[in-house]
Amino acid sequence: MDRIRIKGGRPLEGRIPISGAKNAALPLMIASLLTGETLELRNVPRLADVGLLLRILGNHGVDHTVTGKRPGQTSETGQTILLDASSVIDTRAPYELVSRMRASFWVIAPLIARFGEASVSLPGGCAIGTRPVDLLIMALERLGVSIEIESGYVQAKAPKGLKGAEIVFPKVTVSGTHVALMAATLADGETVIENAAREPEVVDLADCLNKMGARVSGAGTSRIVIQGVSRLRGATHTVMPDRIETGTYAMAVAMTGGDVLLEGARPEYLQSALDILSEVGVDIQANNEGIRVRRNGAKLRSVDVTTDPFPGFPTDLQAQFMALMTRADGTSRIRETIFENRFMHVQELARFGAHIRLDGDAALVEGVETLTGAPVMATDLRASVSLVIAGLAAEGETEIHRVYHLDRGFEALEAKLSRCGAEIERLRAA
C-alpha cells in the first residue's frame, strides 16, 4: 500500500485551490438516475469515491464521459462528468459495490422513484459507528414504498408510483434528507420534509434538481417542500466548493503557521469552524478570491468544541481540530455528538506525543510544547488527514500508512501542500 512521508516544521505559504465537495458530488451523481437525459456536472473532484460511484452507476447502465482538460487546468482542477441514465438496465445494487461506500445506498431513491422498484444491499462505509438506514427507509415508506429486507438486501417496490407525504425526521439526518428529496421530486403531489438537514450540500442538490425541472423550496431550512413532477430533464450544474477541505487546510495553516489563500472557499459554508479558529488565535479574512488564513507563530489558545449538524461545528472537522489542539496552550474539550466511535484517531495522535484522554463522548486534549514524528496508521477518512496535520508540525519524520483513506476525500493533497512549502511525498507501493 502507498504511504505518505512528511518532514515537519515548515510553515505553509501560498495558495491552495479548494476542490469540489465530495459530499455534494456524490448525491448529485446519484441524481442522474432520475432522468433519461444527460446531467453535466462540473468541478467534480478526482477522488477514489467518485470513481467507485461511477462503477456503481455503470452497473445500473449509466454511461459517463469525463471531458478532457481545458487550457489552464491541472490535476487539481475539478473535472467535468456527463452522466446518461437513458438506458438503465438493472435496478439492483449488489453488496460487493455498495459495501465499499455507504453513500451508494442512496441509489434506492431515484431507482424507486423512476422505475418503481429497487433492490439495494445494506451499506458498508467508514467504521465510525453503525449509521443505520432506518430513517431512510422510513422516509421511503412514507412516500408509499413497500419495503422488505431479505438476505441483506432492501427490496423496495412502488408499482403505482410514489405519493407525496409529510416526512418528519426524529433527528437531523443528511442521508435521510438526500433520499427523501430525490424520491419526492417524482412523487405525485406535495411532500413536506420536517426537521430536514440544513447542510450546504443539501442546498446544492436541491439547486441541481430544480435545474432539472423539480419544484423544491426551502432547502437550507428545516422545512423543505417538494411539488412532485412527472419527469425530470437534463441540466448542467457546478459542484460547490468543499467546506471540509477548506476547514482542513485552514487548520493545517493554523497548526504550522504561515499565510495561505484558500482559493474559491466560501466562508458561509463553515462559519462556525472559522469562528472557532479565530478564537484559537488565527487570523481569518474572507475576500472575493476565497479565505485567507494566517498565523504568525503566536501560541494557540485552547478552545472547547461540540460537533453539531449545520450550521454547527462539523463532525467531519473534529479529528483535524483535535490535532490542532494538541499544540494549544491549556486543555480543550472536544465533544462528538453525531457519530459514535469517531475517536479512533486518538491512539494514533498519541504516537506523536499528544496528551488526550477520552471521557464518554468527549476527548480532553492537553496541549504539549512539541510533537515528534512517528509511524502512524490512518483509520478512516477524516482521521487520516488529522495525522497529516500533526505530521506537518511535528519534529522529525512522520510516515502515514493506509493512505487510501485520504484518496477517498482529498484531491491532490500532497501537491497542494508541497506547493505551499510542506515537505511531503507519497511513497508508492512496490
The predicted-structure confidence for 353-402, as pLDDT tens digits, reads as follows: 999 999 999 999 999 999 999 999 998 877 889 999 999 999 999 999 99
Residue 127 confidence (pLDDT): 40
Residue 128 confidence (pLDDT): 33
The reply, when asked if residue 284 is annotated as ligand binding, is no
Q: Is the pLDDT of residue 344 over 90?
A: no
| 348-358 per-position pLDDT tens digit | 999 999 999 99
Active site residue ranges: 126
Three-state SS for the chain is CCEEEEECCCCEEEEEECCECHHHHHHHHHHHHHCCCEEEEEEECCCHHHHHHHHHHHHHCCEEEECCCCCCCCCCCCEEEEEECCCCCCCEECHHHHCCCHHHHHHHHHHHHHHCEEEEECCCCCCCCCCCCHHHHHHHHHCCCEEEEECCEEEEECCCCCECCEEECCCCCHHHHHHHHHHHCCCECEEEEECCCCCHHHHHHHHHHHHCCCEEECECECEEEEECCCCCCCEEEECCECHHHHHHHHHHHHHHCEEEEEECCCHHHCHHHHHHHHHHCCEEEEECCEEEEEECCCCCECCCEEECCCCCECHHHHHHHHHHHCCCECEEEEECCCCCCCCCCHHHHHCCCCEEEEECCEEEEECCCCCECCEEECCCHHHHHHHHHHHHHCECEEEEECCHHHHHHCCCHHHHHHCCCCEEEEECCC
- Phi first, then psi, for residue 345 (nearest 5°) are -75, -15
What does pTM read for this prediction? Answer: 0.95
The reply, when asked if residue 351 is annotated as ligand binding, is no
Q: How many CB atoms lie within 10 A of CB 43?
A: 22
Residue 69 confidence (pLDDT): 57
241 upstream amide cis, omega within 30 of 0: no
Q: 285-290, long-range: CB within 8 Å, 24+ apart, which pairs?
A: 289/261, 289/263, 289/264, 290/18, 290/261, 290/262, 290/263, 290/264, 290/265
Q: Is the pLDDT of residue 336 over 70?
A: yes
Residue 75 confidence (pLDDT): 61
Q: Give the mean pLDDT of 58-78.
A: 78
Q: Is the pLDDT of residue 126 over 70?
A: no
pLDDT band at 342 (very low <50, low <70, confident <90, very high): confident
pLDDT band at 125 (very low <50, low <70, confident <90, very high): very low
The reply, when asked if residue 69 is annotated as ligand binding, is no
pLDDT band at 244 (very low <50, low <70, confident <90, very high): very high
| 33-46 per-position pLDDT tens digit | 999 999 999 999 99
pLDDT band at 207 (very low <50, low <70, confident <90, very high): very high
Q: Give the mean pLDDT of 57-81.
A: 81
Share of the chain above pLDDT 90, in %: 86
| 314-334 per-position pLDDT tens digit | 999 999 999 999 999 999 999
pLDDT band at 77 (very low <50, low <70, confident <90, very high): low
Mean pLDDT estimate for the chain: 94
* Contact present, 380 and 126 (Cβ < 8 Å): yes
Q: Which of 285, 322, 330 is nearest to 305 (CA)?
A: 322
Q: Is the pLDDT of residue 340 over 70?
A: yes
Domain 3-19+241-427 falls under CATH 3.65.10.10: yes
CA–CA distance, 220 with 61 (Å, rounded to integer): 32
Q: Which CATH superfamily is domain 22-238 in?
A: Enolpyruvate transferase domain (3.65.10.10)
| 278-308 per-position pLDDT tens digit | 999 999 999 999 999 999 878 999 999 999 9
Q: Give the mean pLDDT of 121-147.
A: 78
Residue 379 confidence (pLDDT): 84
Q: Give the mean pLDDT of 174-194.
A: 98
The reply, when asked if residue 338 is annotated as ligand binding, is yes
- Phi first, then psi, for residue 33 (nearest 5°) are -70, -15
The reply, when asked if residue 42 is annotated as ligand binding, is no
Q: Give the mean pLDDT of 134-161.
A: 95
Residue 72 confidence (pLDDT): 55
CA–CA distance, 169 with 139 (Å, rounded to integer): 8
Residue 99 confidence (pLDDT): 86
From-to residues of CATH 3.65.10.10 in the chain: 3-19+241-427, 22-238
The reply, when asked if residue 296 is annotated as ligand binding, is no
Residue 74 confidence (pLDDT): 60
The reply, when asked if residue 195 is annotated as ligand binding, is no
Residue bearing cell 455498495 = 98
The reply, when asked if residue 132 is annotated as ligand binding, is yes
Q: Is the pLDDT of residue 131 over 70?
A: no
Q: Is the pLDDT of residue 73 over 90?
A: no
CA–CA distance, 265 with 290 (Å, rounded to integer): 5
